[in-house]
Amino acid sequence: MKENSKKYAQEAYEIIKHASEKIGSRLPGSDNEKKFAEYMGDKLREIGIEPTKEEFTVSPRASIGGIPYAGYAGIILSILTYFALFNYYVWVGMALFSVVVICWLILGVFLYKTWFDMFFKQEISQNVYGELVPEDGKYDYTIILSGHTDTSWNWRHSEHAYKFRDKPILGIIATYGKVGFGAICFFLMAFISIFMAVAGIANAHEAEWAVNLCASKGFHIFNDILLFLPVVTAIGSCFVVMWADPDPRNASRGAMDNASGIALSYEVIKYFKENPDKMPRNCRIIDFNCGSEEAGLRGSMAFCRNHKGEDVLKNAWNINIDSVADKDYFEVVIKDDWQFTRFDKDLEQMFKDTFKDLGIESKTNGCIHNPVGGCDSTPMTKAGIKSVTFAAQNPVLTYYYHTWRDMPERFEEETVGDGFDVVLGVIEKIDAFQKANGFNGPQK
């Protein structure tokens, strides 16, 4: 960390401590999420920037937060199997139920589509942002510094892996083993329900293949297996139910994910407010406190939707900061695999060059794909903004990721300071790029 960055690193760390220790968990649409957003709005006022608040509705359980519902679905299918063995019409109902749940899992949970939101309880969330413009009020492009104010539900299996914190391989096996087994159990019952419904309907209409199948010895053996299999699948589905603890008191405290990103975004805009001579030429900088990221990127989606066609989304760069705490894992996230979105190549290279300039070495070689879920760079990229996500986080599932153990004592102020230096270095490179090339849109 550079000497002149220490003040900002200390202040950022204090914001992180306030968010995680004083406010605590901040689930999407919760009162605590609002408290943190208001707190950051007050911080902007302290430096003479009037914040803007934009509210939007969110269905917290319509996406990743609703994964336990798939577990309940697996238990229901397991129980109904004993009724379906005596009446194939029950299989038909189970099959339709399975198709609906699978569609929701694929579209809502994996792909973050909002199509199912209307069927879940809604809350009010908010985006809070403030802008710093050059002293003459003229700018040609915008740099948006973003982080999300909310935290995740406590992932029980990850938290239970704390006892294996010195043996991470065992922790990974314990976590993925439980969830993987539960997922297999749900999908097994779902596909069995669909298969049995199709076979039953075809047999009732005397389709030759179905009549032969239902009369076969193998089919009778399979029915015998179904006398015992639902017991196993019901137990496995319970692991999925346990995945996200519904109690908000046990939710993630969100020091790393993502009070660190919120704090760094704020300290960078404060730095430029206090040092106007350091501001990139003809540039506007926005500190964007984004709500409900953990509910499926709903805050960044709302921001891009509300400002579609407006100046704020034109000629814009987005440095999305999400989880800066693990000093050995500084990296730029260049793609959300599940969202099929590749982020900006120019920004990717700027981050890699900045890591090199600052002598930062990373076990991930400074670059990763986001293997599951998504980050706020996806809606930004789709809106035509040049965006990547900056993180310093072990990409392997850990006992503190999305658990109440995500506390500031786990990481160092020095790491936060290094993150501050990285963002300033990238902004310098954006400034140079703009002078040489102008705005060229997302490059993939």
pLDDT of residue 369: 94
Q: Which residues contact 260 (CB under 8 A, 6 or more apart)?
A: 12, 16, 147, 321, 323, 324, 325, 416, 419
The answer to whether 309 and 344 have CB atoms below 8 angstroms apart is: no
pLDDT of residue 363: 94
Q: Using one digit for the tens of pLDDT, what is the confidence trace for 28-52? A: 999 999 999 999 999 999 999 999 9
pLDDT of residue 401: 93
The answer to whether 149 and 290 have CB atoms below 8 angstroms apart is: yes
pLDDT of residue 7: 96
The answer to whether 98 and 193 have CB atoms below 8 angstroms apart is: yes
pLDDT of residue 3: 80
pLDDT of residue 129: 98
Could you give the CA distance from residue 393 to residue 398 in angstroms, rounded to a whole number?
Answer: 10
Q: Using one digit for the tens of pLDDT, what is the confidence trace for 325-384? A: 999 999 999 999 999 999 999 999 999 999 999 999 999 999 999 878 899 999 999 999
The pLDDT confidence band at residue 78, using thresholds 50, 70 and 90, is very high
The answer to whether 392 and 261 have CB atoms below 8 angstroms apart is: no
- 249 alpha carbon, distance to own chain's centre: 20
pTM flag (> 0.75): yes
pLDDT of residue 117: 95
Q: How many CB atoms lie within 10 A of CB 283?
A: 21
Angle, helix 260-274 to helix 6-17, in steps of 10 degrees: 140
The pLDDT confidence band at residue 240, using thresholds 50, 70 and 90, is very high
Burial per residue of 293-315, b for 16 or more beta-carbon CB atoms within 10 angstroms, e otherwise: bbbbbbbbbbbbeeeeeeebbeb
pLDDT of residue 13: 98
Residue 168 reports pLDDT greater than 80: no
Could you give the CA distance from residue 64 to residue 27 in angstroms, rounded to a whole number?
Answer: 12
The pLDDT confidence band at residue 88, using thresholds 50, 70 and 90, is confident
Could you give the CA distance from residue 427 to residue 435 in angstroms, rounded to a whole number?
Answer: 12
The pLDDT confidence band at residue 19, using thresholds 50, 70 and 90, is very high
Helix H, strand E, coil C: the string for 45-82 is: HHCCCCCEEEEEEECHHHCHHHHHHHHHHHHHHHHHHH
Q: Which residues contact 133 (CB under 8 A, 6 or more apart)?
A: 139, 284
pLDDT of residue 216: 93
pLDDT of residue 4: 87
Could you give the CA distance from residue 442 to residue 444 in angstroms, rounded to a whole number?
Answer: 6
pLDDT of residue 2: 83
What element of type H or E holds 332? strand 330-336
The pLDDT confidence band at residue 297, using thresholds 50, 70 and 90, is very high
* Sequence-ordered alpha helix ranges (H) in 287-333: 298-306
Of 101-105, 385-389, 440-444, minimum mean pLDDT range? 440-444
pLDDT of residue 174: 81
The DSSP string of 102-149 is HHHIIIIIIS--STTGGGS--EEEEEEEEEE--TTS--SEEEEEEEE-
What element of type H or E holds 356? helix 345-357
The token pair that represents 256 in the structure block: 């790393």
The answer to whether 259 and 116 have CB atoms below 8 angstroms apart is: no
pLDDT of residue 210: 86
Residue 83 reports pLDDT greater than 90: yes
Helix, strand, coil in percent for the chain, rounding step 5: 55, 15, 30
Instruction: Provide, rounded to the nearest whole percent, the portion of the chain with pLDDT above 90.
Output: 87
Q: Using one digit for the tens of pLDDT, what is the confidence trace for 205-237? A: 889 898 899 889 999 999 999 999 999 999 999
Which of helix, strand or coil describes residue 131? strand
The pLDDT confidence band at residue 111, using thresholds 50, 70 and 90, is very high
Instruction: Provide, rounded to the nearest whole percent, the portion of the chain with pLDDT above 70.
Output: 100
Residue 135 reports pLDDT greater than 90: no
What element of type H or E holds 2? none
C-alpha dihedral sign at 182, 170, 261, 362:
negative
Q: If you average pLDDT over residues 86-112, what whole number do you get? A: 95
pLDDT of residue 258: 94
